[in-house]
Amino acid sequence: MRVVCVACMLLTAALGVSLGNASNAQAQAYPSRSVRLIAPSPAGGPSDFAARLLAPRLGEYLRQNIVVDNRQSVNGVIATEMVAKAPPDGLTLGIGNNGTHVINVGLYKSLPYDPIRDFIAVSQLISNGSALVGHIKFGPRTLKELIAYAKANRGKINVGVAGANGAVGTEVFKSAMGIVLNNVPYKGSAPAEVAVISGEVEVVQLSVPVVAPHYKAGRLKVYGIMSARRSPLLPDIQTISEQGITGYEASGNWHGVFVPAKTPDRIVRILHREIVRVFESPDIKEIVSNRGSELIVSTPEQFAAQLGREVPKFRKIMLDAGIVPQ
């Protein structure tokens, strides 16, 4: 006669439920280890600033290290491709910007990634206006003098071109002004910043937060704000549109967080929630404000919708300016 131990059966069942719950909890834990945040710029650039601002506090909230990985490349293509091809487990995040995810579409016939299909847009972070600046000893003092000088010295002015945003802003500016400048490419805004201060190039487009301290210290001259509105960091500097180039506006330089396509929605929502926490912190808000940047924390749906509008919009702007995809 077989003896059935009811107590043993209950104990076994209880252990099974307990182990099953533990296994499920472990499977659902996120993040399970350090997270890599890829920035498509060298240290000191606008994308790097966004990454360094986000990483420490986000790591604190997620209870894991966030390791910033700077991957410098022309127009951020290499870094952005790395994010697109990473496993969709939430352990690789990317800082993207309007250059990597909007403007590159109009610059290249073929990209190793699709800015919409290959990513999930988690949230925008910050946006910076741009300014056209010149070496302090470069002759022209005003925008009108610069345009006149460029027309009289066709192709003799060197302009630093940093990233996709800089490339498009420069070409749209040249087209609007009817001038020819000699493009000198740089792998990021930080090297271009050094180049114009040293006099390696005469002019360059840089973000206003980068420009402001150099302008105030007398290291750079500013010809105009390339964005639609004046900057609170440089309130005395007119926009290019205000100086008679009606309707001129370069793209604002925004930065946001992306993850690879097919990343589980649960992970996307966790990331978004904690990113919002980071940028709702008073000290982070103060840093962003003091830098002259605009805080833009959007939902994944809002961010995706913006990309859907901007990609075709700026492709047309580029075509109208004579920019042919290479």
Per-residue confidence at 8, pLDDT binned at 50, 70, 90? very low
Q: Is residue 27 situated within a structural domain?
A: no
What CATH number should be reported for the domain holding residue 294?
A: 3.40.190.150
Choosing from 221, 243, 265, the residue where a domain stops is 243
User: Are 85 and 218 in a shared domain?
Assistant: no
Q: What is the pLDDT of residue 253?
A: 80
Domain membership of residue 52 (yes or no) is: yes
Residues 114 and 179 in one domain: no
Structure tokens belonging to residue 72 = 């410098």
Q: What is the pLDDT of residue 250?
A: 64
Task: Give yes or no for residue 84 having a pLDDT over 80.
Answer: yes
- The percent of residues in the chain predicted with pLDDT above 90, rounded, is 57
What average pLDDT does the chain have?
86
The answer on 146 and 58 residing in a single domain is no
Q: How far is CA 266 from CA 30, 177, 296, in A?
A: 9, 49, 22
Domain count, the chain: 2
277 within 8 A of 67, measured Cβ to Cβ: no
My answer on whether 211 and 288 are in the same domain is no
Indicate whether 123 and 162 sit together in one domain: no
Domain membership of residue 28 (yes or no) is no
pLDDT at 291: 79
In a shared domain, residues 118 and 208: no
Q: Among 109-113, 234-238, 290-294, which stretch is predicted with the lowest mean pLDDT?
A: 290-294
Residue 100 lies in a domain: yes
Place of tokens 């487990």: 89
pLDDT of 125-162, one tens digit each?
Answer: 988 888 999 999 999 999 999 999 999 999 899 999 88
Residue 284 has pLDDT above 60, yes or no: yes
Contacts of 293 (CB under 8 A, 6+ apart): 126, 127, 128, 209
Q: Residue 180's domain is classified under what CATH number? A: 3.40.190.10
Q: What is the pLDDT of residue 94?
A: 98
307: its two tokens: 């990309």
Look up the domain containing 264 and give its range: 34-128+252-320
Tens digits of residue pLDDT in 300-317: 999 999 999 888 888 887
Q: Does 1 have pLDDT greater than 70?
A: no
Q: Are 31 and 91 in contact (CB under 8 A)?
A: yes
Last residue of a domain, one of 243, 276, 295: 243
Average pLDDT over residues 211-216: 94
pLDDT for res 6: 46
19-62 residue pLDDT tens = 444 334 434 589 999 999 999 988 877 788 899 999 999 999 99
The answer to whether residue 5 sits within a structural domain is no
Q: Is residue 309 part of a domain?
A: yes
89 phi and psi, to 5 degrees?
Answer: -115, 5
Residue 109: the pLDDT is 87
Please check whether residues 174 and 228 belong to one and the same domain: yes
pLDDT band at 292 (very low <50, low <70, confident <90, very high): confident
Question: In the numeric block, which tokens belong to residue 118?
Answer: 């290959």
Q: Are residues 56 and 115 in the same domain?
A: yes
Asked which of 243, 264, 298 is the last residue of a domain, the reply is: 243
Residues 45 and 93 in one domain: yes
Question: Are 135 and 208 in the same domain?
Answer: yes
Give the per-residue pLDDT at 305. Answer: 94
Percent of the chain scored above 70 by pLDDT?
90
pLDDT at residue 27, as a whole number: 44
Q: Residue 251: its pLDDT value, please?
A: 56
Are the C-beta atoms of residues 146 and 245 closer than 8 Å to each other? no
Residue 261 sits in the same domain as residue 239 = no
Distance CA 138, CA 198 (A): 11
Query: pLDDT band for position 249 (50/70/90)?
Result: low
- Are residues 117 and 136 part of one domain? no
Q: Any idea which residue has 């792998």 for tokens?
A: 187
Residue 180: is its pLDDT beyond 50? yes
Residues 36 and 67 sit within 8 Å (Cβ to Cβ): yes
